[in-house]
A and B are shown apart, each in its own frame.
Chain A
Amino acid sequence: MTPELLIVASLLLPVIGALLSLATRGHSAPALTTAILGFGAALALVGHTSGGAVTALHVGNWPAPFGVVLVADGFTSLMLAVCHLVLIASMIFCSTSLPIRFKRRHLFPLLSTLSLGTNGAFLTGDLFNLYVWFEVLLLSSFSIMAILPGAAAKAATWRYAVINLVASLLFLVAAGLIYGKTGTLNFADLHVKFQSAESSFLIESSTALLFGAFGIKAALIPLAFWLPQSYPQLPPAISALFAALLTKIGLYAFYRIFGMVLVVEGRFPHQEILFWLAIVTMLGGVLGAVAQSDMRRILSFHIISQVGYMALALALFSPLAIAAGVFYLIHHIVVKGNLLLVTGLVESHRGTSRLHDLGGLVRSAPLIAMLFALPALSLAGLPPLSGFFAKFSLLQASLGTQEPLAAIAIIAVGLLTIFSMLKIWLAAFWGPVSSPADSLQKSPPRLNLITSAVMGLVTLALGLFAGPFVELTQTAAEGLVNPDAYLEAVLGK
C-alpha cells in the first residue's frame, strides 16, 4: 500500500471498528480486529518514514494552505504504532476482566472512537483540525468515564470534563487569534509565516493560550491536579489506555507546535517557563506518588512526574534532547500502560489495589510479581531496560546543553521514583500474605497474563535493541528540529 492509503486506513479503520462494534451490540471482536489492522498500518508507516521521508495527503486535492492536510512523518508514525499497541492490550484486558455492566454495548465503540481521535490528532497538519480531533477524543473519553458507576466516579467525570473543556476553549481562542494574525492555520505555512512575523505581542499572547491548553491536557504541574482526581477512579484496563493516550496527546501537541511550528531561530516562545514547569512537575509528581498508599493513585502521580521529564526534553531543545524526549514518550507509553495493566492483574487476583490490604504477592502469584517488576524497573531507569536509555540520553542532552540543574533534577527524581516503586514492592509483593483475602484469591485470565508479558518484552526489546530505536527517534527528532522535508511535502515546493 502507498503511504497515502495507510494514512487513510489509520482514520477509516477505527470508524469501521466503532460502527461494526455498535452494530453487533458492543461486541469486542470488530474493535479489536480493526485495532490490530491499524497497528499493522502504523508499522508500515514507520517503515515508510524511517529514512526521514514525509508523506502528506491533501484531502480533496485542495492545495496546501487552503485545504486540510494529513501528514505522516517519523514522529507521527512512531506515536501511532505505540499507541495502537497499548490500545490492543487495553482492549484485550477490557474484554476479559471488566464486569459485564461496562461492556454492555458502548465501551468498545467508544474505545474505537477514542483511537480515531488520537490517530487524527497525530496525523493532522492543521491547527483547527487538531482542535476538532481533540474534541473527538475528549468526548469519547468523557463518555467512557460516564459509564463508571458510583457518585465518586461521577464527580471525577465532572471534574475531568470541565477542566478539559476549559482547555479546549483556550485552544480554540488561540487558534482564532493565530489565524487573525497570520491568516493561516496550516502547520507548515504557519512555520514559514512565523519566521518573518514582525510583531511578537500577539504571537506571545496567543501561544501562551496554547501553552495553557496543552499544559492542562499534558498535566504539567500547576495545571495537573485534575489527573490524580480522575484517573484512579477508572478500572486499570481503561486507565492504562487513558494514561498512555490522553496526556501523551498533550505532549505530542507540545512537541509538534512548540517544538516545530513556532520555532524561530532555534527557540520557541515560553521556553524558559516550560523548563521551570517541567522541573516542578517532575518533583511534584514524584513527591505526590511517595505520599500515596494505593497502587492506582501512586501510578497516577507517576504519570505527572514522567510528563515532566518529557517536557524537560522539549525545553532543552537540542536535537539530542528532542530525540531523547521522543524515545522517552515511546518508552513511557509502553511501560506506564503495562504497569497499570499489571495493577489490573493484581486487582483481579486480590480484588483490591490498596497497599494496606495487599501483601505477599510474590508467594501467592509469582508470575504477576515478575510482570510488575519488569516495567517497574524500567520506569525507575535500570539497565538494560528501555527506561535506562531514555533517562541516560536525556541526562546526556542536559549536560550537553549546559543545564546542570536539569541533570540534578533527572537524577534526584529518578531516585525518588525508585523509592516509590519500592514502596509498592515492599507493601504489595513482599511481606506476609494478608489473610482475609486468601479465600477470594483467583488467578487472572491467562490471556491478560500473556498480553502483559508481551508488553514487558517490548520494554525489554526497546532496551536490548536500543540502537535501531534510537535511530528511529533521531530521525523523528531531526524532522521536528529541521522541518524542510515536512514543508516540502505539505507546501509542495
Chain B
Amino acid sequence: MELLIALTIGTLVAGGIYRMLGGCRVDMIIGLILLSQAANLIILASGGLKHNAAALIEDDVDLSTLADPLPQALVLTAIVIGFGILAFLLTLLIRSPK
C-alpha cells in the first residue's frame, strides 16, 4: 500500500511538472491540478496508512486500530481550497486574451 501511494505521488509530481513546463496556459492548469493532487496524497499518507480503519474515537477501542483523523481533515480543507483556486484560474483563463 505504501509503495503504491509513493509511486502514485511520484508519477503525479513528474506529470505535473512536465505539464507545467509545457508553457501554454491550459498545460499550466493541468500541471497545477496534478501537483495539488500529489500534495493531497502526501498529507493523507503522512498520517500513516491503515486499511479499512475508522477515524472515530470511542471509549473502549484500541487506539492503534484507528486511523488518524487530522490528515483527513487537512486533506478535506486542502481539496476545497484547491477547488476554489482551480475555479479562479479557469475564470482567468477564459477572461484573458489569447
Contact = CB atoms under 8 A, between A and B. Distances in A.
Contacts of A180: 45-48
Contacts of B46: 176-177, 179-180
Interface stretch (A139-147, A322-330, A357-365, A367-375): A139-147
Interface string A127-165: 010001001000100110010000100110110011001
Contact of A142 (B77, B81, B88): B88
B64 interface: no
A176 B45 CA distance: 9
A66 to B, nearest CB: 9
Interface in A160-218: 161-162, 165-166, 169, 172-173, 175-177, 179-180
A151 B97 CA distance: 6
Contacts of A162: 20, 28, 32
B15 to A, nearest CB: 14
Nearest to A146: B92
B96 interface: yes
Q: Looking at chain A's contact residues, is the secondary structure mostly helix, strand, loop, or mixed?
A: helix
Interface in B39-75: 39, 42-43, 45-48, 70-71, 74
Nearest to B75: A176
Contacts of B38: 173
A172 B78 contact: yes
Nearest to A165: B32
A173 B20 CA distance: 18
Given A132-B81, A154-B96, A161 B89 contact: yes
Contacts of A161: 88-89, 92
A135 B81 contact: yes
Contact of A169 (B35, B70, B84, B88): B35
B90 to A, nearest CB: 12
A173 B70 contact: no
B39 A146 contact: no
Nearest to B32: A165
A302 to B, nearest CB: 29
A323 B36 CA distance: 37
A142 B77 CA distance: 20
Contacts of B28: 162
A179 B70 contact: yes
Given A135-B81, A154-B95, A176-B46, A143 B71 contact: no
A18 to B, nearest CB: 16
B65 to A, nearest CB: 18
Contacts of A158: 25, 92, 96
Contacts of B7: none
Contacts of B97: 151, 154
A307 to B, nearest CB: 25
Nearest to A153: B96
Contacts of A173: 38-39, 42-43
A391 to B, nearest CB: 39
Contacts of B88: 139, 142-143, 161
Contacts of B42: 173, 176-177
Contacts of A177: 42, 46
A176 B25 contact: no
B6 interface: no
Contacts of A135: 81, 85
B96 to A, nearest CB: 4
B33 to A, nearest CB: 10
Contacts of B48: 180
B39 A169 contact: yes
A180 B5 CA distance: 15
Contacts of B95: 146, 154
Contact of B43 (A165, A166, A176): A176
B57 to A, nearest CB: 12
A52 B76 CA distance: 37
A173 B84 CA distance: 18
A155 B38 CA distance: 27
A179 B43 contact: yes
B39 A132 contact: no
A168 to B, nearest CB: 8
19 contacts: A128-B74, A139-B88, A142-B92, A146-B92, A151-B96, A154-B95, A154-B96, A157-B92, A158-B92, A158-B96, A162-B28, A169-B36, A172-B78, A176-B39, A176-B46, A176-B74, A179-B71, A180-B45, A180-B47
Given A162-B20, A179-B46, 16 more contacts: A128-B74, A135-B85, A139-B84, A142-B92, A151-B96, A151-B97, A154-B96, A166-B20, A172-B39, A172-B43, A172-B78, A173-B38, A173-B39, A173-B42, A176-B45, A180-B45
Cβ-closest 4 pairs across A and B: A180-B46, A176-B43, A154-B96, A176-B46
